[in-house]
A and B are shown apart, each in its own frame.
Chain A
Amino acid sequence: MFFQSTVSQTQRTEHAIVRDQPAPGGIPLKIEGVSKTFSGGAGSIEALQPVDLDVAAGEFVCLLGPSGCGKSTLLSIIAGLETASSGTVWAGGQKVHGPGTDRVLLFQEAALFPWLDVQHNVEFGLRQASMPARERAAVAQRFIELVRLKGFERSYVHQLSGGMRQRVALARALAIDPAILLMDEPFGALDALTRDRLHVELETMWASTGKTVVFVTHNVREAVALGDRVLVFSPRPGRLVREFRIELPRPRSLEDHALVDQAKEIMSVLRDAMGVYEQEDLNGASKPYTA
């Protein structure tokens, strides 16, 4: 099911940059000296120290760290929803000014529109790109099937569970075929079982489409299970402290010893970086953070 749909998903919007490449897929992302300082009345708060980062096309990168480490801020800057205090973001060789449909951000709260049903939520981005209604419906249908929500087209947000909402959000994002998926703790508020299942689905989708993914989480195991690379951030001020390349074969199991060992190693780095502060929450998330 997953593989089938990707071959035909060639509807690209105006903003897509790689429209001439044969395989639909990701574009590289380059972050140069991006920092963020919030200036308030009492003084300014440094949310993120300058970060340099290269993400290859089709790479799955996890940004890991506790709340207040600036990882969500960085993601918002990449999405173009926030401006950086310094530095530049390049997506596919183009400088980022504001939001664009080549980069779509998924939020922890699915941010679906409650006045639209599932079908029309998924169609939303296509409608903005002025796709004709019939074509729009067909594309939306395909992605609703991809996230296994066939039969829920006419449901409204308040009728869906948390996991289903995230699936709809994923379908809505994928429908406009972005080259880069930015995910801000999208599964943070879900129960462990649902989260595991969505990990598998996300990985399958990613493997078949080759999109570039930047995934923010505070859950070490989630980061190790999903990422090609895990970048560890530490808080106050937010900064990138270390990066790990995860070479484990896919699909990965959370129970796999190698994975657990790797997670332990990253955890210890994180502990050192943070001191003793807020440690237990990094273990795999009984309680979701709100950034």
Chain B
Amino acid sequence: MAQASLTLRERVNNSRALRPLLRRLVFYLLLLVLWHLLATSGIWPDYLFPGPLAVLNALVDGFQNGQFLQAALVSLQRLIIGYSISLGIGMVLGLLIGRFRVFEETVGSLMLGLQALPSVCWLPLAILWLGLSEQAIIFVVVMGALFSITLGVDAGIKNTPSIYLKAARNLGARGVALSLQVVLPAAMPAILNGLKQGWTFAWRSLMAGELLFYTLSLGNLLQTGRDLNDASQVMAVMVVIIAIGVAIDGLIFAPIERRVRTRWGLQRS
């Protein structure tokens, strides 16, 4: 319609959006310079406080010998398996707690209680039960994400605008169809919050758990770096962990969230 004014507005927005980006860039550059200066000042020995170049070297090395990539894949696989399990269980539990008073009073209170427990606390028990095994670590990941997802689904369902329910019942929806076709999608924005929080918890629990394991993984690489007194490897692995975290947030959750918020009318497109 108003093509010209739109592009004008876009241009204004762009220049406005560019300025914080520029500020951020300058900030990080300064940070790197400061880090480099501190590292070369000789206050701390090299192997304890490596500079950015040493870390970059370790990063390149790690990827060149294939260790980092393989470790990242192992960790991501655990994350995906653990997260999928808690997604399935969390959806069902959340739906039950949100829809039925009995479940809310019983399972719901248990969920709230267990959410207060950092999921790494499950690790000793998991190792006792399952040994130092793949299952033990996935168990911890599941426990990390499960409660946030469950409570997110529950919250979404409790806050479903009643007008959707009225309209749906009026059009003949009931029972399971009402739950799946109306309640669940209506709760989507809140569910997404739970999913997002669940994934961060899963990622954190995974890293904590992997510190104790001897098979190659990101957490294990951190531990190896410590054993070898190689702080640059530790930092390089930390960079990889951060990068994966930011990528999952930015490439998976952010676009879904933006789309849902726009479509649900929570935000102008």
Contacts and interface: CB of A to CB of B under 8 A. Distances in A.
B171 A125 contact: yes
Contacts of A173: 171
Nearest to B267: A158
B264 interface: yes
Given A115-B185, A158-B263, A128 B171 contact: yes
A46 interface: no
Contact of B170 (A104, A109, A114, A157): A104
Interface residues of A, number: 29
A163 B180 CA distance: 29
B170 A115 contact: no
Given A115-B188, A128-B177, A15 B172 contact: yes
Interface residues of B, number: 22
Interface in B228-267: 262-265
A172 interface: yes
B164 A81 contact: no
Contacts of B186: 113, 115
A107 interface: yes
Contacts of A128: 171-174, 177
A124 interface: yes
A99 B171 CA distance: 8
B182 interface: yes
Given A115-B188, A124-B171, A124-B173, A107 B163 contact: yes
Contacts of B264: 114-115, 158
A129 B185 contact: no
B164 A111 contact: yes
Given A156-B263, A158-B263, A158-B265, A111 B166 contact: yes
A212 interface: no
A13 B172 contact: yes
Nearest to A110: B167
Contacts of B5: none
A208 B84 CA distance: 53
A101 B171 contact: yes
B168 interface: yes
Contacts of B164: 111, 113
A79 interface: yes
A126 to B, nearest CB: 9
Contacts of A114: 263-265
A125 B172 contact: yes
Interface string A207-232: 00000000000000000000000000
B11 interface: no
Given A81-B170, A104-B170, A176-B172, A109 B263 contact: no
A129 B263 contact: no
Contacts of B169: 81, 98-99
B44 to A, nearest CB: 55
A105 interface: yes
B269 interface: yes
Interface in A157-180: 157-158, 172-173, 176
Interface of A: 13, 15, 79, 81, 98-101, 103-105, 107, 109, 111-115, 124-125, 127-129, 156-158, 172-173, 176
Given A111-B164, A124-B171, 9 more contacts: A15-B172, A107-B163, A114-B264, A115-B186, A115-B264, A125-B171, A128-B171, A158-B263, A158-B265
27 contacts: A99-B169, A101-B172, A104-B171, A105-B170, A107-B163, A107-B167, A109-B163, A111-B166, A111-B167, A113-B164, A113-B167, A113-B168, A113-B182, A113-B186, A114-B265, A115-B263, A124-B168, A124-B173, A124-B181, A125-B172, A127-B181, A128-B172, A128-B174, A158-B262, A158-B264, A158-B265, A172-B171
Interface of B: 163-164, 166-174, 177, 181-182, 185-186, 188, 262-265, 269
Q: Closest 7 interchain pairs by CB?
A: A125-B171, A128-B172, A111-B167, A115-B185, A101-B172, A158-B265, A111-B163
